[in-house]
């Protein structure tokens, strides 16, 4: 695995000026004096491998279109042992951002880096860590995070993460941060137009040039618009400190492009052809987040060189639901996000893109959406499965109609391709990566959750609602992710089982809530047969379901106790929604009546959620993973609702810390999680 200088230079020649190879250690030759104001977005590093890493900064200049910075990499924080010293071009074409690939580094080492301009004005010092060699048996430590809305919240979670990491023993310190998307929210509110939402204060983030306004949201349509949002987000001091402390490995979720968008279609309420908007989103993402993602213009790290595309409606779709239109294909392929990283003996991190190749939403037919109007957020699971399966449902014999309690509507997906989130090409790649992985743990870094959100309204006592939920089906509370992508999920889980793959686990984000459980294709009355573990990490700051429901759920709804249990003393309601997903309606009704947790849990429906060990729809924070030869430990660090910046050096108090441990299982064995509360109160999450 040792890469020679020659082969590094050969593969890196195409990168252009932005590369450096290490040499013998010597003192710094640069008269660096720190001027953070000239590097307003700080520094960052991304996608380390055992011998190289990409370093990043931004230094805008008033004069000219291209300038050179010097980058130094040292073995020590005070730069007495500088091992690389190179030129790093910045240009207006890349919004004055710089990326430099440093090669020849030693595996599993910590390095420090800094940038300096020709006047000696220096960036802050950043720290980065290379990956261990593939045969290195040391433990791997990382966090997975997502959803950092700073328009409506603060990043106290990063402050807490830094505080704890600085005090952790060296062998337990984090190797990298896996960011699973919603790094920015392209829907920006202006505090002079809207002051609050839910519990939130609206904070100034950015002003978007040449954007679009939908409701209270300003939305970018050009690369300058997206750049403005990244600059606003990266002004956050906690995010800057986190990027300066650890390398980040990143993948986008929806908001890096468009809230409800998919492929190159921009959607915020209304759909619009958005080929040029998708390219603009990719360009700004590439400029601000250093990664090894492949861009269509080639490997140069200096500028993105966006392909020219036209915004035209997509009229033809292929058999997998991919828009067969040249501008759409050019836009979604302008930057390839999916990739695999190997970290030592124990981790293959397989990262996928959930938005660029997905098929049309199969659940958008308003006729079927009107099923069961008395049951908030609930949709019949059997109907969801028919719609998800499209023309492939029931072995290619889908029903002509879907029905609920005697109401029949035509099956809108009868001739549609089965729902895919990955798209055919990425899915084939993903399966190959899974099959060929030789690491102890195969972790699927996936922005979207995969654990079923379901409830059992068929067990409600008669009389609570006018209509009775049919006895023959559960309800799903659709989240638009792998939780209702039944067919595609089963295809992947079947592969894991059939290829006898062990150590398979999913880490995801997007749901703004903490979930821990098992990867299983089916739930009762089908066969519960887990092939791996599945986790969802809470949002760092973005508002979640419980916050929304505290504000919006009708007080007089007879099913309110399934979501919120109102305390007689007028205190904040308890979040029975967590209990609904984990234990079912009987537990919720009992809890809302007696507030007796034990009695409520004794009424748990064991067939509802054997796949769930933990769910907290009101949590915020981050998840910390530790992988060894025989165990995966996943710790949820939950903080209070982050509505304002904590001035404390530890980022403020924590709500709870809960640990999910799983021993490595053998092929054919069932994975088993052990959940223990280490600290604090998890409420109704267990
Ligand atoms: Fe989000």
What pLDDT digit, counting tens, does each position of 557-569 carry? 999 999 999 999 9
Q: How far is the CA of 87 from the centre of ligand 1 (A)?
A: 37
Q: How far is the CA of 258 from the centre of ligand 1 (A)?
A: 11
Q: How far is the CA of 664 from the centre of ligand 1 (A)?
A: 31
CA–CA distance, 126 with 124 (Å, rounded to integer):
6
Output the pLDDT for position 250.
Answer: 98
Output the pLDDT for position 257.
Answer: 98
Contact 368, 401 (CB under 8 A): no
Question: 527 CB contacts (<8 Å, ≥6 apart)?
Answer: none
569, HSE (Cβ side, Cα atoms, 13 Å): 4
CA–CA distance, 491 with 497 (Å, rounded to integer):
10
Kindly list the protein residues that place their beta carbon closer than 5 angstroms to ligand 1, a single-atom ion: 147, 182, 542
Q: How far is the CA of 175 from the centre of ligand 1 (A)?
A: 24
In DSSP notation, 55-107 reads EEEE---SSSSEEEEEEEEESSTTSSSEEEEEEEEEEGGGTTEEEEEEESPPT
CA–CA distance, 537 with 540 (Å, rounded to integer):
9
Output the pLDDT for position 514.
Answer: 98
Output the pLDDT for position 449.
Answer: 97
246-299: pLDDT as tens digits:
999 999 999 999 999 999 999 988 999 999 999 999 999 999 999 999 999 988
The pLDDT mean for the chain works out to: 96
Low-confidence ranges of the chain (pLDDT < 50): 1
Contact 626, 633 (CB under 8 A): yes
67-106: pLDDT as tens digits:
999 999 999 999 999 999 999 999 999 999 999 999 999 9
Output the pLDDT for position 11.
Answer: 64
Q: How far is the CA of 511 from the centre of ligand 1 (A)?
A: 7
Q: How far is the CA of 277 from the centre of ligand 1 (A)?
A: 20
CA–CA distance, 18 with 25 (Å, rounded to integer):
21
Output the pLDDT for position 299.
Answer: 87
Q: How far is the CA of 151 from the centre of ligand 1 (A)?
A: 12
For the chain, the maximum distance between any two Cα atoms, rounded to a whole number of angstroms, is 81
Contact 39, 124 (CB under 8 A): yes
**Alpha helices for 354-423 (secondary structure H):** 366-369, 381-389, 393-396
Q: How far is the CA of 462 from the centre of ligand 1 (A)?
A: 37
Q: How far is the CA of 513 from the centre of ligand 1 (A)?
A: 10
Q: How far is the CA of 419 from the centre of ligand 1 (A)?
A: 22
Output the pLDDT for position 590.
Answer: 98
Output the pLDDT for position 12.
Answer: 66
Q: How far is the CA of 395 from the centre of ligand 1 (A)?
A: 35
Q: How far is the CA of 245 from the centre of ligand 1 (A)?
A: 23
């Amino acid at each position: 695995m040792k890469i020679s200088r020659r082969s590094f230079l050969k593969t890196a020649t195409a990168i252009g000026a932005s590369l450096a190879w290490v040499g013998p250690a010597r003192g710094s030759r640069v008269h660096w004096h720190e001027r953070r104001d000239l590097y307003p977005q700080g520094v960052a590093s991304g996608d380390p491998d055992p011998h190289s890493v990409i370093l990043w900064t931004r230094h805008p200049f008033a004069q000219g279109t291209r300038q050179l910075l010097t980058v130094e990499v040292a073995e020590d924080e005070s730069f007495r042992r500088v091992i690389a010293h190179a030129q790093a071009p910045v240009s207006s074409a890349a919004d004055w951002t710089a990326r430099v690939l440093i090669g020849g580094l030693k595996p599993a080492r910590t390095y420090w880096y800094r940038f300096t301009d020709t006047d000696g004005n220096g960036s802050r010092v950043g720290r980065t860590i290379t990956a261990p060699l593939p045969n290195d048996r040391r433990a791997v430590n990382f966090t997975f995070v997502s959803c950092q809305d700073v328009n409506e919240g603060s990043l106290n979670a990063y402050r807490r993460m830094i505080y704890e990491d600085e005090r952790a023993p060296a062998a337990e310190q984090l190797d990298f941060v896996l960011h699973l998307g919603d790094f920015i929210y392209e829907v920006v509110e202006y505090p002079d137009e809207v002051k609050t939402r839910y519990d939130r204060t609206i904070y100034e983030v950015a002003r978007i040039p040449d954007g679009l306004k939908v409701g209270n949201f300003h939305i970018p349509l050009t690369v300058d618009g997206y750049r403005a949002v990244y600059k606003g987000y990266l002004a956050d001091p906690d995010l800057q400190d986190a990027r300066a402390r650890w390398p980040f490995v990143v993948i986008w979720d929806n908001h890096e492009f468009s809230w409800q968008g998919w492929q190159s279609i921009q959607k915020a309420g209304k759909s619009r052809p958005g080929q040029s908007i998708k390219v603009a989103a990719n360009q700004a993402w590439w400029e601000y987040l250093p990664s090894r993602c492949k861009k269509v213009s080639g490997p140069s790290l200096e500028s993105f060189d966006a392909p020219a595309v036209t915004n035209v409606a997509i009229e033809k779709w292929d058999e997998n639901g991919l828009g067969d239109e040249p501008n759409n294909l050019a836009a979604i392929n302008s930057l390839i996000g999916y990739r695999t990283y190997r970290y030592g003996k124990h981790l293959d991190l397989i990262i996928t893109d959930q938005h660029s190749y997905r098929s049309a939403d199969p659940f958008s037919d308003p006729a079927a959406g009107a099923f069961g109007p008395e049951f908030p957020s609930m949709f019949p699971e059997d109907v969801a499965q028919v719609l998800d399966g499209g023309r492939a449902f029931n072995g290619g014999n889908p029903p002509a109609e879907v029905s609920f309690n005697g109401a029949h509507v035509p099956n809108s997906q009868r001739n549609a391709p089965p729902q895919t989130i990955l798209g055919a090409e990425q899915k084939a790649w993903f399966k190959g990566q899974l099959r060929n992985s030789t690491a102890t743990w195969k972790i699927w870094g996936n922005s979207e959750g995969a654990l079923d959100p379901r409830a059992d309204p068929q067990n409600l006592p008669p009389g609570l609602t006018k209509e009775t939920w049919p006895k023959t089906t559960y309800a799903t509370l659709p989240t638009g992710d792998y939780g209702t992508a039944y067919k595609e999920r089963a295809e992947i889980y079947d592969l894991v089982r059939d290829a006898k793959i062990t150590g398979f686990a999913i880490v995801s984000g997007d749901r703004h809530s903490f979930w821990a459980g098992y990867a299983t294709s089916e739930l009762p009355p089908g066969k519960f047969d887990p092939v791996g573990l599945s986790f969802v990490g809470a949002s760092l700051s973005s508002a979640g379901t419980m916050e929304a429901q505290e504000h919006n759920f009708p007080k007089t709804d007879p099913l309110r106790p399934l979501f919120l249990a109102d305390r007689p003393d007028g205190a904040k309601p308890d979040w029975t929604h967590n209990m609904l997903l984990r234990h079912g309606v009987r537990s919720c009704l009992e809890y809302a009546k007696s507030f007796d947790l034990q009695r409520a849990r004794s009424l748990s429906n064991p067939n509802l959620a054997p796949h769930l060990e933990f769910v907290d729809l009101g949590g915020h924070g981050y998840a910390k993973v530790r992988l060894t030869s025989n165990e995966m430990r996943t710790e949820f660090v939950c903080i209070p609702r982050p509505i304002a910046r904590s001035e404390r050096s530890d980022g403020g108090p924590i709500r709870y810390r809960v640990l999910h441990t799983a021993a490595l299982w053998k092929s054919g064995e069932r994975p088993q999680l052990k959940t223990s509360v280490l600290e604090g109160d998890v409420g109704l999450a267990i």
